[in-house]
Structure 1
């Protein structure tokens, strides 16, 4: 029994590690805005991950080349939505909004996924889904406006939050496409091919905007982005899913806005207001309501 308890504690520890890594990455994204451009850190993130994975993945990619050839278009689309559009907009949004707001807006991915599923999968939510969406979006508006809803008319003042919302929508598309296609490709091969596409996608942006050099001010942030949220967090998250199951594991994502806010408070000295508390509670509550099933 002691061994089983220890194994369960370890399994519960895994998603917490992943959430902490992703939360810290949001704060790092906000912190490094003064030292590197969005397109540069986005490129370095995936290029570093590509360099690290390549020695381990080349043989596996070659052995699975026929399978990859069948699905390369799907992988290219997934990379565009999940790694380039979502991450690129997140890095850009960090120049205009706080890490705390970014963490809270990230918590709305499940709700945005419901909306995207309507158009892509033709899956209409039940009454709990609609109610959960209403609660969550009310919380989102509360966070963005700090309770002053008339400020929604001042679009320029919320450009960072709006960009983050668009980024989250792109990630919702990523999740829905994964569900729709259900590619029978080993996870690490899928991840590696998507990272490869992400590196290629960045080339036109680098030619247009240029590439900032890595220096002593941004080096640690760049290395962190390329290793921890890109490689280690997905690995421990997949291990958590294997041990706890997808539904139980996904609950831990609700800790992301809280974890992000705590790190941002101590590192970046960002304020945590009553509106952040209410918005976070409404986001989490809305997701929980939306996931309810109607009794048959």
Structure 2
């Protein structure tokens, strides 16, 4: 039963990657990005407004950091995913997104002083090659000639932004309940995305897109983060993070069924290499350089 929490969260997020692709042509990226957080904020407010006001003396010194987290993790990351979905496949998006644990590990080594391990080094190389195989459609020479697909580039930048968000979250360790942190970041996303929403073209909510907005809002923005937090509390962060490795596999399966996306050989090869690299980095924890024993004086 304890494994149901991380599995449910990953299943929802994989489905959300496919929802991003389904939204193409039925609602503009700026619209679904704004509506998603606006609705989440409206649903959260009756439960979270009073606790946040009561805890404001603790929150106020950290407003700047909360704003940065909200921009990176909520506004920028998800909005860029919606734009990326117009130019690349859900399968590609899922495989690129699976690089996130590797990026977080790399940033933790640089900014948090975490020790570099053999698994982290060789896993990073293997995952990087795997993603190159995917984004080049199996032709690395073609990648050198034509460069990256714009959608894949956007997805890489979005993944990098969320990895930075996760690293800062770990580094700052803000003394706030997770539910209040989530609510405040949702409010930041609403404020930041509002000008973009006003200036962008709109089709409005309709029977064709309301289901996508509700999925992104209720399931991906509210239920999945809370279920993931519960998983971390029950299983611990290390064991929980392993379930994130299932994201590209589940995304590819859902995309194949719902979007009729074809799985090519390069998806299987690149996806396997990326997944193997992430698992290698998490399981092979031997320090790259062993510390020298202290000399006897």
Q: Same fold (TM over 0.5)?
A: yes
| CA shift for structure 1 position 68 | 1.1
Q: CA, structure 1 residues 255+286, in 2 after alignment: closer, same or farther (shift >3 Å)? A: same
Q: Quote the Cα distance in structure 2 between the aligned partners of 1:115 and 1:169.
A: 11
What is the 5 A alignment of 1:228-267? 228-267=219-258
Please name the residue that 1:7 is paired with. none
Q: Number of aligned pairs?
A: 287
Q: Quote the Cα distance in structure 2 between the aligned partners of 1:16 and 1:126.
A: 28
Contact 2:136–2:148 (Cα < 8 Å) also in 1: no
Q: Quote the Cα distance in structure 2 between the aligned partners of 1:241 and 1:121.
A: 20
| CA shift for structure 1 position 212 | 3.5
Deviations 1:190-242 (A, max 9, x none): 00000000000012212321443101110110111110000011111111112
1:170 aligns with 2:150: no
What is the 5 A alignment of 1:203-282? 203-282=194-273
1:293 aligns with 2:293: no
Please name the residue that 2:56 is paired with. 65
Please name the residue that 2:176 is paired with. 185
Question: Tell me, which stretches of 5 or more residues in structure 1 are unaligned?
Answer: 1-9
Q: Quote the Cα distance in structure 1 between the aligned partners of 2:286 and 2:191.
A: 45
Q: Quote the Cα distance in structure 1 between the aligned partners of 2:223 and 2:37.
A: 13
User: Which consecutive segments of 4 or more residues in structure 1 shift more than 4 A?
Assistant: 154-157
Structure with bigger helix share is 1
C-alpha RMSD of the superposition: 1.5
Q: Quote the Cα distance in structure 2 between the aligned partners of 1:261 and 1:45.
A: 24
The TM-score, its normalising length taken from structure 2, stands at 0.92
Q: Quote the Cα distance in structure 1 between the aligned partners of 2:43 and 2:117.
A: 44
SS of 1:26 mapped into structure 2: helix
Q: CA, structure 1 residues 119+247, in 2 after alignment: closer, same or farther (shift >3 Å)? A: closer
The TM-score, its normalising length taken from structure 1, stands at 0.93
Question: Tell me, which stretches of 5 or more residues in structure 2 are unaligned?
Answer: 291-297
Q: Quote the Cα distance in structure 2 between the aligned partners of 1:34 and 1:154.
A: 30
| CA shift for structure 1 position 114 | 3.1
Q: Quote the Cα distance in structure 1 between the aligned partners of 2:39 and 2:256.
A: 29
| CA shift for structure 1 position 121 | 3.1
Aligned to 2:42, which of 26, 29, 51?
51
Q: Quote the Cα distance in structure 2 between the aligned partners of 1:185 and 1:212.
A: 38
| CA shift for structure 1 position 119 | 4.6
